């Protein structure tokens, strides 16, 4: 019986010796070919780049959402020859930046070039191809007062003065983010005309509708779509009584044809705050509210901006 017990124990002993040899090879890099058994070092985190809306077309605003591979103190991007400013959201550990695609941008793949500064002062970069498609926009005919299609010399002088005023206003953009959370409609009403419509005024003057029209009666309260600072609050020839808000990161909203203006230049405005009353001043066929969105000189579709999900 003892001899049989020793015989059965022999294979068990050899198994223990073999297991010990394997453990030594793994735990001691100097033993045998241990380096092949050591787990590989985990690859560094990569960039995560997303955007809204998912399908991009000419005339669309964009919100870029970027999660970099390491902690950053600053992040910027180059997109369609524009600089995109980003702000950090600690809750989601994500950087957010607003950009846009002009109405004239052709379909194709365009490069988003990201450049970040780490907490140690080092620079890191990343690029990503983004596809832009062509949108379909309607064509309509509009009738307005003759002075808006065939202005007199005096009216042309007024138009020239307004152009200078607007150029000055639009040049005062702030890279710091003022907007916060979702952009909300300025009024609760039916849309009477959309962005991108090809318009023929009085059968002579052709233009592209650069905003969103709401069918509201005159005197309807108009509220700010998001937080910002008043850059302009005065009457203009084509726009009528007009308010321009700067939301930061190069983004502005314009409220046209107002019957009354309720804010002053330089005033800080909160989302939902009343800024004026709707009307039909300027080049308008009747009372309504025209909402426009402008980013670094490019007019964008307000309907798309209002539909974005933002932190």
Report the pLDDT value the prediction gives residue 3, as an integer from 0 to 100: 46
Task: Count CA atoms closer than 13 A to 39's CA, side-chain side.
Answer: 3
* Dihedral (Cα; 244, 159, 147, 104), 10-degree rounding: -70
DSSP string, 66-120: EE-SS-EEEEEEEETTEEEEEEEETTTTEEEEEEE--TTPPSEEEEEEEEEEETT
Q: Which helix (H) or strand (E) holds 61?
A: strand 61-67
The C-alpha atoms of residue 59 and residue 291 are separated, in whole angstroms, by 15
Please identify, in words, the CATH class of the domain defined by 139-307.
Answer: mainly beta
Task: Count CA atoms closer than 13 A to 107's CA, side-chain side.
Answer: 5
Q: Which residues of the chain have pLDDT under 50?
A: 1-43
User: What token pair was written down for 311?
Assistant: 């932190």
R_g (Cα) of the chain, nearest Å = 30
* Contact by Cβ (8 Å): 197, 258: no
β-strand partners of 246: 229, 252
Report the pLDDT value the prediction gives residue 2, as an integer from 0 to 100: 43
CATH of the structural domain 48-133, one choice from 2.60.40.10, 3.40.50.300, 3.40.50.970, 3.40.50.720: 2.60.40.10
Report the pLDDT value the prediction gives residue 205, as an integer from 0 to 100: 56
The residue count of the chain comes to 311
Report the pLDDT value the prediction gives residue 163, as an integer from 0 to 100: 85
User: Residue 222: which region, alpha, beta or left (left: phi > 0; alpha: psi -120 to 50)?
Assistant: beta
pLDDT in tens, 92-132: 899 999 999 999 999 999 999 999 999 899 999 999 999 99
Alpha helix stretches (DSSP H) within the chain: 2-27, 153-170, 302-307
* Contact by Cβ (8 Å): 161, 214: no
Report the pLDDT value the prediction gives residue 206, as an integer from 0 to 100: 65
CB proximity list for 102: less than 8 A, separation 6 or greater: 58, 59, 80, 298, 299
pLDDT in tens, 136-184: 887 777 777 777 777 888 888 888 888 888 888 888 778 889 999 999 9
Report the pLDDT value the prediction gives residue 133, as an integer from 0 to 100: 97
CB proximity list for 44: less than 8 A, separation 6 or greater: 69
Domain ranges of the chain: 2-36, 48-133, 139-307
Task: Quote the strand ranges of 119-155, DSSP E.
Answer: 123-133, 139-142
Sign of the dihedral defined by the CA atoms of residues 49, 54, 55, 61, in that order: negative
């Amino acid at each position: 019986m003892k001899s049989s017990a020793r015989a059965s124990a022999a294979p068990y002993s050899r198994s223990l010796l073999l297991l010990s040899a394997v453990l030594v090879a793994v735990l001691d890099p100097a033993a045998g070919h241990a380096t092949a058994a050591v787990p590989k070092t985990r690859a560094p985190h990569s960039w995560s780049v997303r955007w809204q809306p998912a399908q991009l077309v000419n005339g669309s605003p964009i919100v870029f959402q970027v999660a970099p591979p390491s902690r950053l103190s600053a992040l910027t991007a180059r997109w369609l020859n524009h600089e995109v400013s980003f702000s950090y959201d600690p809750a989601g550990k994500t950087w957010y930046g607003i950009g846009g695609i002009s109405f004239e941008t052709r379909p194709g793949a365009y490069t988003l070039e990201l450049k970040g500064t780490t907490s140690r002062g080092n620079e890191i970069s990343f690029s990503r191809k983004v596809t832009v498609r062509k949108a379909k926009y309607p064509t309509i005919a509009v009738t307005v007062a003759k002075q808006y299609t065939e202005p007199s010399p005096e009216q042309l002088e007024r138009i020239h003065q307004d152009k200078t005023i607007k150029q000055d206003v639009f040049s005062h953009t702030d890279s710091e983010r003022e907007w916060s959370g979702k952009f909300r409609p300025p009024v609760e009403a039916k849309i009477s005309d959309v962005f991108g419509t090809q318009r023929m005024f009085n059968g002579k003057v052709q233009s592209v509708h650069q905003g969103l029209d709401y069918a509201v009666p005159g005197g309807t309260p108009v509220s700010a779509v998001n937080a910002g600072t008043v850059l302009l609050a005065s009457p203009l020839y084509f726009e009528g009584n007009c308010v321009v808000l700067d939301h930061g990161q190069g983004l502005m909203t314009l409220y046209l044809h107002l019957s009354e203006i309720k804010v002053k230049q330089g005033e800080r405005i909160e989302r939902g705050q009343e800024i004026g009353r709707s009307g039909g001043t300027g080049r308008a066929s009747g009372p309504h509210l025209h909402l426009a969105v402008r980013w670094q000189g490019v007019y964008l579709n307000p309907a798309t901006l209002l539909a974005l999900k933002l932190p």
